[in-house]
A and B are shown apart, each in its own frame.
Chain A
Amino acid sequence: MLPFILRRLWQMLPTMAGVVVLVFLLFNWVGGDPSYLLAGKMADARAIANIRAQLGLDQPWTVQLWIFVKQILSFDFGNAWSTGEPVAHIITSRLGPSLTVLVPLTVLETVFGIALALAIAFVRGSLTDRLVMVACTVGMSISILVYIIVFQYGLAYKLGLFPVQGWGENFLENLLRYAALPILIGLAVSIAPTLRLFRSFVLDEASQDYVRTARAKGLSERRIVWVHVLRNAAIPIITYVMANLPALLIGAFLLERFFGIPGIGREVILAVERSDFPVIKAVTVYVAAATMVFNLLADLMYQAVDPRVQLK
């Protein structure tokens, strides 16, 4: 196990190096010189030269790349340009609210997705199956914006079932009061694509020989579905859920923006609006690293689920 993990971490290095170079090129070459942006409207040559020296922009590009690598390794991206808050503090303090929404959302989405997919895959081709699939296609075609606008207006503003937006200090209050409607909307948006995907995973298994054997030896349909098929369909499901987690951190930005949740996604949107490059750079690099680590975790989970999997 340990040699496998070490080798995988070693293999991540070139990809991570690629991400660092890509982000560096985007901001230092495509993005142009940020010192004019920072110097403001009344800029003179001295102020601009001063800012360039502070940012290291007057150094050769190899030195600049090295500065960037040192920033990543030391988790110190300096201060945000717009607010002066340390970037490291921005990321650590915004992670909590994001996870308060995302962890329940992911758990509920996965559980509902699996349950519905198993229920539907075994009535394949029936009217129920086809109606659910049509409903999924239609549900997926409506923009997430429409879900948020209509649910926020209807459930929170008109009916007053939830607060329209806000965030408190207390974890339980946040989870039960403020995060409830965002989680509900996230579930409504994500259940259709998740169900469609999980159904195809289950269908791949439902026609296998072992299912027929299990039926032939007289197992109950419930046991076949929930024990035999579920364990075999688990591998692609784990891959999907794990690969999606880091993306969700950013993907929930619309929910965070509409409901005033101080999370990572909302911070990225604000940073893009204010051209706050240090924040975007830091989030991009760390989310890419998290994606790779979660892929590794998914591989490790395969073995726990399926003893046939050999980690080499």
Chain B
Amino acid sequence: MSAPMPLHGAGHAHAHAASPGLWALAWRRLRADRVAMAALAVVLLFLLSVLLSASGLVAADWEDEVAVNYAPPGFVGADPALAALAQPARPVPPNAFDPLAPDLDRLKAELARRGVAAQAVKAATLPFGADKWGHDILKKTIKGGQTSIVVGLVAALLAVALGTLFGALAGFHGGLVDDLFNWFYNVFTSIPSILMILTVAAVLQTRGVSSIVLILGLTGWTGPFRLIRAEYIKHKAREYVMAADAIGASSWRRMFVHIFPNVSHVALVQVSILVVGFIKAEVILSFLGFGVPVGVVSWGSMLNEAQSELILGKWWQLAAAAGAMALLVTAFSLLADALRDALDPKLK
């Protein structure tokens, strides 16, 4: 390979300076929108916290009982009624009549031998308070967010993947295949989605993160299906698809290699819209006890605990879970709106 060749290649590419593609144009429009960029930053921050907490770098120790029960937030100040709990347990004076004394002495000696120091002093306040067991609310909110966001994202990806597959098959092939999928669509949309979700939850019995993802993903494909099908009907008669047909591309190849990149922006917008809906749905399901299993924390299970705490005047867990969720959902909705505007400039 001689040296001038790359130079020639570069000059060639320069002569045909490609006009910016859909994604570059969309990114340019998105960057001009200050609200969208702020929303994007908030969403990325939440995703970062999910990554950090999933990898165990942050909030891995959220189950440690670091404070007294219901320790108030630092800016409220310590609760005098609870402050007494913060002191380490006073040593009990020896009691000659205690039948358990020899056993206790043996256990204490054992603990001392293993190097376990006396129980750590529990904090009287935390930056954003503690729950019933003295867990740090901030760490719990991050951990709960991890569950809720992962469920929302994975379920939305599953729903859009199903909707895209069905929509592509129905729109591209038309005829009998289209009739079949439309019938399927009519059946699913005639049952209200929340009833569908509850019915599947009743049937599945098992509670777990993966079953919520399945429930939401398998019931949420109808919206993407309708839009993607319409796009495929529009695109299948275009010249580039006919050209692909003429050079012998198979129908799968035309569907997913040729057409899909041209309709993928619809799928992306659908993912961002569904994530918002699914995070809300997960919170409600977990609140009712049909969602995450006991021992897994999510924003829904936090709200469930917060409901009874509020009557005792302990508002911080409610505020933390509701605030974090409202912030993420607002940012995600604004981003979804901006994405739709940026990717589909015809639509106004």
Interface residue ranges, A against B (CB under 8 Å): 14-16, 18-19, 22-23, 26-27, 30-32, 137-138, 140-146, 149-150, 153, 157, 246-247, 249-251, 253-254, 268-269, 271-273, 275, 277, 280, 283-284, 287-288, 291-292
> Could you say which residues of chain A place their CB within 8 Å of the CB of B262?
none
Provide 5 A-B residue pairs closer than 8 Å at the C-beta atoms, listed in order of the A residue: A16-B190, A31-B202, A140-B329, A140-B333, A275-B202
Q: Does B183 lie within 8 Å of A15, measured CB to CB? A: yes
Q: In the complex, what's the smallest C-beta–C-beta distance from B43 to chain A, in angstroms?
A: 13
- Tell me which residues from 44 to 77 in chain B have a Cβ below 8 Å from any Cβ of chain A: none
- Please measure, in the bound complex, the distance between the C-alpha atom of A27 and the C-alpha atom of B204, giving whole angstroms: 9
Q: Are A27 and B303 CB-contacts (below 8 A) given A141-B333, A145-B283, A251-B194?
A: no
Using an 8 Å CB-CB cutoff, how does the interface string of B192-224 with A read, 1 for contact, 0 for none? 111110111111110000000000000000000
Q: Does B184 lie within 8 Å of A280, measured CB to CB? A: no
Q: Does B190 lie within 8 Å of A146, measured CB to CB? A: no
> Could you say which residues of chain B place their CB within 8 Å of the CB of A247?
192-195
Please name the 4 residue pairs, one residue from A and one from B, whose CB atoms are nearest each other, closest first. Answer: A18-B187, A247-B192, A141-B329, A141-B330
> Could you say which residues of chain A place their CB within 8 Å of the CB of B322?
142-143, 146
Q: Does B192 lie within 8 Å of A22, measured CB to CB? A: no
Contact of B186 among A18, A246, A275, A284 (CB under 8 A): A18
Q: Does B202 lie within 8 Å of A272, measured CB to CB? A: yes
Q: Does B184 lie within 8 Å of A149, measured CB to CB? A: no
Q: Does B195 lie within 8 Å of A269, measured CB to CB? A: no
Closest residue to B193 on the A side, CB-wise?
A247
Q: Does B280 lie within 8 Å of A287, measured CB to CB? A: no
A-B contact count (CB 8 A): 118
Closest residue to A269 on the B side, CB-wise?
B288
Q: Does B203 lie within 8 Å of A142, measured CB to CB? A: no
Closest residue to A252 on the B side, CB-wise?
B194
| Most chain A CB neighbours (cut-off 10 Å) among B187, B196, B334 | B187
Q: Does A143 lie within 8 Å of B190, measured CB to CB? A: no
> Could you say which residues of chain B place their CB within 8 Å of the CB of A149?
303, 306-307, 310, 318
Q: In the complex, what's the smallest C-beta–C-beta distance from A97 to chain B, in angstroms?
A: 18
Q: In the complex, what's the smallest C-beta–C-beta distance from B269 to chain A, in angstroms?
A: 16
Q: In the complex, what's the smallest C-beta–C-beta distance from A29 to chain B, in angstroms?
A: 9
In the complex, B243 has a CB within 8 A of chain A: no
Q: In the complex, what's the smallest C-beta–C-beta distance from B281 to chain A, in angstroms?
A: 10
> Could you say which residues of chain B place their CB within 8 Å of the CB of A284?
191, 195-196, 199
Q: Does A27 lie within 8 Å of B203, measured CB to CB? A: yes
Give the size of the chain B interface in residues (CB under 8 angstroms): 44
Using an 8 Å CB-CB cutoff, how does the interface string of B284-322 with A read, 1 for contact, 0 for none? 100111100000000010010011001100000010001
Contact of A246 among B184, B192, B318 (CB under 8 A): B192
- Please measure, in the bound complex, the distance between the C-alpha atom of A284 and the C-alpha atom of B307, giving whole angstroms: 30
Query: What is the interface of chain A mostly: helix, strand, loop, or mixed?
Result: helix
Q: Does B191 lie within 8 Å of A19, measured CB to CB? A: yes
Closest residue to B187 on the A side, CB-wise?
A18
| Most chain B CB neighbours (cut-off 10 Å) among A137, A142, A146, A287 | A146
> Could you say which residues of chain A place their CB within 8 Å of the CB of B191?
19, 22, 284, 287-288, 291
> Could you say which residues of chain A place their CB within 8 Å of the CB of B311?
153, 157
Q: Are A272 and B334 CB-contacts (below 8 A) given A19-B187, A22-B187, A250-B194?
A: no
Q: Does A15 lie within 8 Å of B284, measured CB to CB? A: no
> Could you say which residues of chain A place their CB within 8 Å of the CB of B276?
141
Q: In the complex, what's the smallest C-beta–C-beta distance from A289 to chain B, in angstroms?
A: 8
- Please measure, in the bound complex, the distance between the C-alpha atom of A137 and the C-alpha atom of B326, giving whole angstroms: 10
> Could you say which residues of chain A place their CB within 8 Å of the CB of B186?
15, 18
Q: Are A18 and B184 CB-contacts (below 8 A) given A137-B330, A273-B289?
A: yes
In the complex, B266 has a CB within 8 A of chain A: no
> Could you say which residues of chain B place their CB within 8 Å of the CB of A26?
199-200, 203
Contact of B198 among A30, A138, A272 (CB under 8 A): A272
Q: Does A250 lie within 8 Å of B195, measured CB to CB? A: yes
In the complex, B325 has a CB within 8 A of chain A: yes
Q: In the complex, what's the smallest C-beta–C-beta distance from A155 to chain B, in angstroms?
A: 13
| Most chain B CB neighbours (cut-off 10 Å) among A14, A22, A254, A277 | A22
- Please measure, in the bound complex, the distance between the C-alpha atom of A14 and the C-alpha atom of B184, giving whole angstroms: 10
Q: Does A283 lie within 8 Å of B187, measured CB to CB? A: no
- Tell me which residues from 310 to 348 in chain B have a Cβ below 8 Å from any Cβ of chain A: 310-311, 318, 322, 325-330, 333-334
Q: Does A283 lie within 8 Å of B195, measured CB to CB? A: yes
> Could you say which residues of chain A place their CB within 8 Å of the CB of B192?
246-247, 249-251, 287, 291
> Could you say which residues of chain B place their CB within 8 Å of the CB of A19?
187, 190-191
> Could you say which residues of chain B place their CB within 8 Å of the CB of A271?
202
> Could you say which residues of chain A place their CB within 8 Å of the CB of B284?
143-145, 254
Q: Does B306 lie within 8 Å of A141, measured CB to CB? A: no
Q: Does A288 lie within 8 Å of B190, measured CB to CB? A: yes
Q: In the complex, what's the smallest C-beta–C-beta distance from A262 to chain B, in angstroms?
A: 18
Closest residue to B290 on the A side, CB-wise?
A272
Closest residue to B306 on the A side, CB-wise?
A149
- Please measure, in the bound complex, the distance between the C-alpha atom of A144 and the C-alpha atom of B276, giving whole angstroms: 14
Q: In the complex, what's the smallest C-beta–C-beta distance from A134 to chain B, in angstroms?
A: 9
Q: Does B326 lie within 8 Å of A142, measured CB to CB? A: yes
> Could you say which residues of chain A place their CB within 8 Å of the CB of B288?
269
Closest residue to B202 on the A side, CB-wise?
A272
Q: In the complex, what's the smallest C-beta–C-beta distance from A105 to chain B, in angstroms?
A: 16
- Please measure, in the bound complex, the distance between the C-alpha atom of A157 and the C-alpha atom of B280, giving whole angstroms: 26
| Most chain B CB neighbours (cut-off 10 Å) among A31, A141, A249, A288 | A141
Q: In the complex, what's the smallest C-beta–C-beta distance from A133 to chain B, in angstroms?
A: 10
> Could you say which residues of chain B place their CB within 8 Å of the CB of A31?
202-203, 205
Q: In the complex, what's the smallest C-beta–C-beta distance from B217 to chain A, in angstroms?
A: 15
Contact of B326 among A138, A287, A288 (CB under 8 A): A138
- Tell me which residues from 94 to 149 in chain B have a Cβ below 8 Å from any Cβ of chain A: none
- Please measure, in the bound complex, the distance between the C-alpha atom of A31 and the C-alpha atom of B205, giving whole angstroms: 8
Q: Does A146 lie within 8 Å of B318, measured CB to CB? A: yes
- Please measure, in the bound complex, the distance between the C-alpha atom of A16 and the C-alpha atom of B183, giving whole angstroms: 10
> Could you say which residues of chain B place their CB within 8 Å of the CB of A137?
330, 333-334
Q: Are A143 and B325 CB-contacts (below 8 A) given A18-B187, A284-B191, A291-B190?
A: yes
Q: In the complex, what's the smallest C-beta–C-beta distance from A96 to chain B, in angstroms?
A: 20
